[in-house]
Amino acid sequence: MMALVLVISFGGGANGAENSIGEDRFDTIVLDAGHGGRDLGALGPGGLQEKEVSLALALALEKKLLDRGLKVVMTRREDIYIPLEQRTSIANDARADLFLSIHANASRDSDVDGTETYFLSLKASDEDAQRVADAENLAFETAEERVPVPEDPLFHILGDLIETEHLMESSEFAGMAQTQMGGLEKGSSRGVKQAPFVVLMGVQMPASLLEVGFISNPKEEKKLRSKKHQAKLVEAILVSVDDFGKRYDARRGIR
């Protein structure tokens, strides 16, 4: 499972009606289809590529959100490579209310299946979560896109940044999304986890990274290739966005 990514934030607000304290209505979402171009992401035993799954889901979700009257900003709309720093800039320039990074998981054990949802932490919630983050972060370990390390001052700055209200909102959305995705099939939920995903560290709004299934599992790969199953995943995420948006506005006194 590799991925570039549904993860935390610190800014927010879009072009909407403002309330008395200057907060904006929930109306703008950034969808980040993981990987792309030369970055294939994880590969299924049948040849399905993670970058294909993530883009198909992001495009289908975009259409549903637009039908709801929401504004959607895509980090990519085609099979191209988008550097981490550019994805972050796209999200922050949009001043969105939610950032969702969509991915497909992978494991050396082809029997492992299920969905997981992540939000940012500088310490992974468990060994599996760290493994996922390590795999995803490998795509960005270049001179320009390096992963901060504990002795790096940037690491500590990021640690201060995530101690904000957006951490709680990111956690809230992750829980809502996991409930919906994990409820699609019995026993398919692997829970909400935290990990140091580089792509989430720079995003300035509530954010979450969604692992929609294990592409390394032959049965799950087949489902992820299916338009019918993709539609179910999109609907599950859509319900989560609707519920989160209502709570987001209610907290800000917006009806």
**Percent with pLDDT over 70 in the chain:** 72
Cut 0.85: pTM above it: no
* pLDDT attached to residue 84: 76
Q: Which CATH number does 28-251 carry?
A: 3.40.630.40
pLDDT digits (tens, 9 = 90+) for 64-73: 999 999 999 9
* pLDDT attached to residue 122: 58
* pLDDT attached to residue 86: 84
Place of tokens 């398919």: 188
* pLDDT attached to residue 24: 78
* pLDDT attached to residue 3: 43
Quote the CA–CA distance of 14 and 24 in Å, as a whole number.
6
Per-residue HEC secondary structure of the chain comes to CCCCCCCCCCCCCCCCCECCCCCECCCEEEEEECCECCECCCECCCCCEHHHHHHHHHHHHHHHHHHCCCEEEECCCCCCCCCHHHHHHHHHHHCCCEEEEEEEECCCCCCCCCEEEEEECCCCCCHHHHHHHHHHHHHHCCCCCCCCCCCCHHHHHHHHHCCCHHHHHHHHHHHHHHHHHHCCCCCCEEEEEEECCHHHHCCCCCEEEEEEEECCCHHHHHHHHCHHHHHHHHHHHHHHHHHHHHHHHHHCCCC
* pLDDT attached to residue 54: 98
Domain boundaries, the chain: 28-251
Q: Please compute Rg for the chain using Cα positions.
A: 17
* pLDDT attached to residue 139: 61
Name the stretches of the chain with pLDDT < 50.
1-22, 141-150, 153, 155-157, 159, 162-163
pLDDT digits (tens, 9 = 90+) for 65-105: 999 999 999 999 999 999 877 888 899 999 999 999 999 99
What CA dihedral angle connects 141, 146, 147 and 148, to 10 degrees? Answer: 160
Quote the CA–CA distance of 252 and 25 in Å, as a whole number.
8
